[in-house]
Amino acid sequence: MKYLVPDYYPYFHCKISQCRTACCTGWPVSFSMSEYFRLLGVECSAPIRRKLDIALHLTDHPTKDDYAMLLHSYDGSCPLRLSDGRCGLQADAGESALPAVCRLYPRGIRKGECSCANSCEAVVELLARAEPIRFVSLDLDIDYPSDTRVHFFENAGREMEIRLWLIRFIQDRRFSLGHRLFIMGTALKSMDEALSDKDGKRIEELLNEPYQIAPQPLKGNALPIVQRLFELMRSDSIEHYTGIALDRFSAEKDIGEKAADARLMQAEPNWESWFENLLVNHMFFSQFPFQDRPVSLQDETYALYAVYAMLKFLTVWAGSGDKEQTADAIAALFRLVDHTAFDRYAVPVLHKIGADPRILLTI
């Protein structure tokens, strides 16, 4: 079957033992009722059987789709993970024995499209390149049903066109990333109005005529706002890097754009195209702005502004100019952004701070 995928997709491979922060560590693995009963009876060796019997546990409030989980070992890792990084259950009983989350991660399979999450270290490293992401149609043999949407947006039946149109703004390298996000946000506002008015002619114009807007000078200081965002949006997955970044920022304060960019350049000379690719991949993976949650398109835009500002803050003040540390901080941030309702909470937190989200683009 044909799927639309980002061009890195066929080159994605799990790093197994080379992975510094494996997804099998520090992350609860939960699965459905049918998968639970399948794992209770899966054919496997005695040692794996013993580990499964010890680790399999019902969730606190079991539901059909979120029925059971694998309890982690004392070090936070999955008890089925082998010392060489491979999955013991897969090695023993084959890929089909795995719960869907283990079999698919970091892939996101949607109707006619696939991509990988930025929360995976291998994906983050694949995106550290000068070339922009291109979207290609690929024949993929995927025997897994695509996620079904719960929440519907008015999109005039042109959802993918609108999503790729917005991505092109982020890839317009005539402007800085902050300006590209500003222009994209303004264009989306125009599209939102046309969609609400069911104005097919205006939608056509927006999608096919050059979008005229002069980038406005962005004013304000984003750093204290992002500092507050990290203080208020704590999560286990980014705690380590948030701690480093906030401590270092408190010690150094504003080192200035030049020094910040130099630190990023030291970690990755193509840092701006790296960030562009991370934002574009996040937008495609999360189906921006039509995420499967009742969040307005305006708030989705502001949540994306917060992602950009948090990405830059965390990599400057926790990346320390080191490529691996910077990549690990990025993967940790996207554990929060891509695997929680981040887009739903970001704007209420910005309101609580009393911040104009557009100031985030000055970072």
Which residues in this chain contact ligand SF4 in the complex, by CB under 6 A?
14-15, 19, 22-23, 105-106, 120-122
In the bound state with ligand SF4, the residue whose beta carbon lies nearer, of 70 and 120, is 120
Tokens standing for residue 323: 């490529």
CB 27 within 8 A of CB 81: no
Minimal distance in Å, beta carbon 120 to ligand SF4?
A: 3
List Cβ neighbours of 251 (8 Å cut-off, separation of 6 or more).
none
The identity of residue 200, as a single letter, is G
Residue with smaller CB distance to ligand SF4, 23 or 295: 23
Token digits of residue 287: 């189906």
In this structure, the number of other CB atoms found within 10 A of the CB of residue 131 comes to 11
Q: How far is the CB of 98 from ligand SF4 (least distance, A)?
A: 12
Helix/strand/coil (H/E/C) assignment for every residue in 93-129: HCHHHCCHHHHHCCEEEECCEEEECCCCHHHHHHCCC
Cβ closer to ligand SF4: 18 or 296? Answer: 18
Nearer to ligand SF4, 124 or 203 (CB): 124
Show the beta-strand stretches assigned E in the chain. Answer: 2-6, 29-31, 56-58, 68-70, 107-110, 113-116, 135-139
Report in angstroms how near the CB of residue 8 gets to ligand SF4 at its nearest.
13
Q: Closer CB to ligand SF4, residue 17 or residue 45?
A: 17
Q: How far is the CB of 196 from ligand SF4 (least distance, A)?
A: 39
Shortest spacing between CB 79 and ligand SF4, in angstroms:
16
Tell me the C-alpha distance between 205 and 102, whole Å.
43
Contact 334, 118 (CB under 8 A): yes
Nearest CB to ligand SF4, comparing residues 163 and 335: 335
CB of 140 to ligand SF4, least distance (A): 18
